[in-house]
């Protein structure tokens, strides 16, 4: 599935991933390939990205933390997520 993380300043990440975990306002939840369509508000927390070949642009590497060989995370203060047709868009503050 395809993930795009956008902030007011720039597109922080865009690429293929295997799973994404986000801090929803009613609790953390994970989206995998072919997840049902969803739109949700996000609260302060960590967006966790899993994938085989996650490549972060050099200009944005300072925003992300590598947690394992195949996992990366991004701290956000709030935002919105939409999942539809195997594409996830995170609008993050």
User: pLDDT of 5-28, one tens digit each?
Assistant: 999 999 999 999 999 999 999 999
Percent of the chain with pLDDT over 70: 100
Integer CA distances (angstroms), 89 to 68, 69, 79, 84, in order: 23, 23, 10, 9
pLDDT given for residue 68 in this prediction: 86
pLDDT band, very low/low/confident/very high, at 76 (cuts 50, 70, 90): very high
pLDDT band, very low/low/confident/very high, at 67 (cuts 50, 70, 90): confident
**Torsion angle in degrees (nearest 10) through CA of 19, 65, 91, 47:** 40
Q: Is the pLDDT of residue 64 over 90?
A: yes
Q: For residues 22 and 29, is the Cβ–Cβ distance under 8 A?
A: yes
Q: Which two tokens stand for residue 51?
A: 């994938």
CATH of 2-92, one of 3.40.50.150, 3.50.50.60, 3.30.450.70, 2.60.15.10: 2.60.15.10
Q: Is the pLDDT of residue 49 over 90?
A: yes
Global pTM value: 0.93
Domain locations along the chain: 2-92
């Amino acid at each position: 599935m395809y993930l795009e993380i956008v902030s007011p300043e720039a597109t922080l990440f865009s690429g293929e991933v295997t799973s994404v975990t986000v801090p929803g306002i009613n609790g953390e939840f994970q989206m995998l390939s072919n997840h049902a369509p969803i739109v949700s508000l996000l609260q302060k927390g960590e967006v966790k990205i899993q994938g085989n070949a996650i490549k972060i642009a050099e200009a944005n590497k300072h925003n992300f933390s590598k947690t394992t060989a195949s996992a990366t995370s991004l701290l956000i203060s709030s935002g919105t997520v939409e999942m539809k047709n195997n594409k996830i868009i995170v609008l993050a503050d």
